[in-house]
Amino acid sequence: MLETTIAGSLPKPAWLAEPERLWAPWRLEGAELEEGKRDATLIWLKEQEDAGIDIVSGGEQFRIHFVHGFLEHVDGIDWDKKTKMGIRDNRYTVDVPTVTGPVSRKGPVHSDEVRFVRPHTDKKLKFTLPGPMTICDTIADAHYGSRPDMAMAFAELLNAEAKELEALGVDSIQFDEPAFNAFMKETVEWGVDALNLARKGLKCKTAVHICYGYGIQENIDWKQTLGAEWRQYEEIFPSLNNSDIDQVSLECANSKVPLSLIGLLKDKDVLVGAIDVASTNVETPEQVAATLQAAMEFVDPERTVACTNCGLAPLPRDVSVDKLRALGAGAALARKAL
């Protein structure tokens, strides 16, 4: 009961990529880079185990960007044809690559990573993939002519990938869908259908991570426009509760999401974010326990998993380690109190 896990990314060691920077370029290349990614992954497995994290992940040490890390292995995309696009409903404007033909995987994307990680831990292993709607919000379309159609095409690729990772021993696959709180109407209309297709036939646990983003300036500015209560999820939780996904990950630490909205997810496990990723202040175990207990007013302990709000990647490495420990210790406190 009250297992612990993390939402996704962890910082890269300074010898692997520039620290405290989101999507920092690699500092190594060639064979040294590949060795560095593996070494960094081992460090984070050990840190998670030492911190008492039950469902561990490789911390996304093999990829720079959570969407492009997948798209780089997909045919049908022209990386030289950049299109200026306002993504997450114009929260950021970026030059994105363009889909110019039917998409297909060049081959397995993350299998080698999982083959490496799996034998190194006896804990349950979690793996994160971008969700189909978020992919479509991170790439321009000059082929499909319809976002839902493009999302379904990507969902098929994600499904094939997820099935391979499951066969290699992954216990939990999480689809990251930060686009879900920027496009609530579209989420209900077709985003959840695309997510169902991405998880179709999987027997392992499946989760969706929705969030208000890393603690970068664009997100901080955007959050200030959302008012005193963030009720966006109210529109999408009924659809998510009817989806085939087992678990929903959301931020509860220093968040303005009313915890009562969790009550709309009565058929799902809830990954309760009890670690703020937008602050270098390390939570005390008591604070983590209090966040979990507040959430458990609306979700049974049997359906609660203690988690981070989002990825820890942009934080200093030592702060991230301390936050992992606070998460493990806080969950242990909350467990004891039950």
Q: Which region among 35-43, 67-75, 190-198, 307-315 touches Zn ion (by CB under 5 A)? A: 307-315
Nearer to Zn ion, 99 or 274 (CB): 274
Nearer to Zn ion, 97 or 131 (CB): 131
Nearer to Zn ion, 179 or 194 (CB): 179
Q: Shortest approach of Zn ion to residue 251 CB, angstroms?
A: 7
Is residue 41 within 8 Å of 59, Cβ to Cβ? Answer: yes
Nearer to Zn ion, 144 or 214 (CB): 214
Number of residues forming the site for Zn ion (CB under 5 A) = 2
Given candidates 173, 211, 271, 274, which one binds Zn ion under the rule CB under 5 A? Answer: 211
Nearer to Zn ion, 4 or 98 (CB): 4
Give me the 256-285 binding string for Zn ion, x by CB under 5 A, dash otherwise: ------------------------------
Smallest CA-to-CA distance from 175 within 239, 235, 244 is with: 244
Chain mean position to CA 224? 23
Q: Shortest approach of Zn ion to residue 210 CB, angstroms?
A: 8
Q: Shortest approach of Zn ion to residue 209 CB, angstroms?
A: 6
Q: Shortest approach of Zn ion to residue 220 CB, angstroms?
A: 14
Nearer to Zn ion, 109 or 211 (CB): 211
**Per rule CB under 5 A, is residue 40 in the interface with Zn ion?**
no
**Per rule CB under 5 A, is residue 152 in the interface with Zn ion?**
no
Q: Which region among 180-188, 194-202, 306-314, 328-336 touches Zn ion (by CB under 5 A)? A: 306-314
Q: Which region among 51-59, 128-136, 199-207, 211-219 touches Zn ion (by CB under 5 A)? A: 211-219
**Per rule CB under 5 A, is residue 310 in the interface with Zn ion?**
yes
Nearer to Zn ion, 292 or 310 (CB): 310
Q: Shortest approach of Zn ion to residue 207 CB, angstroms?
A: 12
Q: Which residues bind Zn ion (CB under 5 A)?
A: 211, 310
